[in-house]
Amino acid sequence: MSFELAVTKLGYMLEHPSIRRYSFVVTPFGDHVAVSSDNPSGADNQQETAMPRLELDAGWVVGFVDGEGCFSVSIHHNPRFAKRTWGWQIHPVFHVYQHEVHRAVLEGLVTFFGCGRIRSKGPGSSVATYAVDGLRDLERSILPFFESHPPVVKRRDFVAFAAIVRLMQEKCHFTPSGFEQAVRLAYGMNFAGKQRTRSLSEVLAGSSETARQAPPAQR
């Protein structure tokens, strides 16, 4: 499969109109993605930071994710989940960040994994995010790849992330014990949940109370 993507150099086009065009030749993950540029050589082009050719093989992807990616599980209050998970929504997401100038790399990851989407990190941000948050996509594409090609820096977070995704795929998080297991795993990720605004006890309060009130046969 092949496709082309035009990337405009930000802030440079005003004086020197220039669009760098990349051609991708992509095979399923485990092989590689070849990226090449058809721009002519010249002084203006030499000032650009985009690499003219990049090989996305499995080892490269793992290293790139170790540096620029994140396995995260957000837990936030959502009234729509009041009956199923005590008002809390568990949302696992695999992210990879990159400046918009290098959006071509994220486009390559979309094809490499066969899933996910690219979006802005936030309003007015110059950073783009490749994100995969569908449970089916995570289980079918992301988890098998990183189990076959384990990350180094983010290995511990990935192991917890994979366990949470599979708990949710099996709907275990709809039970008090499964919900608590998923939440505790999530709070042990990414610097032990130090950046979270809700305490672990606050999130678990509802499910723990339900477990105490349930008849022994339902626990």
Average pLDDT over residues 134-142: 97
- The Cα–Cα gap between 8 and 101 comes to 7
Q: Is the pLDDT of residue 109 over 90?
A: yes
The percent of residues above 70 in pLDDT, for the chain, comes to 68
Place 194 in a pLDDT band, splitting at 50, 70 and 90. low
Q: What is the pLDDT of residue 82?
A: 86
CA dihedral of residues 94, 95, 96, 100 (deg, nearest 10): 150
Predicted local confidence at residue 17, as pLDDT:
39
At 113 the pLDDT is: 94
- Please give the residue that has the higher pLDDT: either 121 or 182: 182
Mean pLDDT over the full length of the chain: 78
Domain map (residue ranges) of the chain: 59-214
Looking at residue 29, its pLDDT comes to 52
Using the 8-state DSSP alphabet, how is residue 123 labeled? T
Quick one: which of 49, 4, 40 has its CA closest to 22? 4
pTM for this one? 0.72
Most confident of 3-17, 54-68, 128-142: 128-142
**pLDDT digit string (tens) for 44-67?**
444 444 444 455 789 999 999 999
The yes/no answer on whether domain 59-214 falls in CATH 3.10.180.10 is no
Residue-level pLDDT at 73: 96
pLDDT score at 83: 85
Cβ pair 190, 157 in contact under 8 A: yes
Q: Where are the alpha helices (DSSP H) in the chain?
A: 43-46, 58-68, 82-85, 103-113, 135-137, 143-148, 155-169, 176-187, 189-192, 200-213
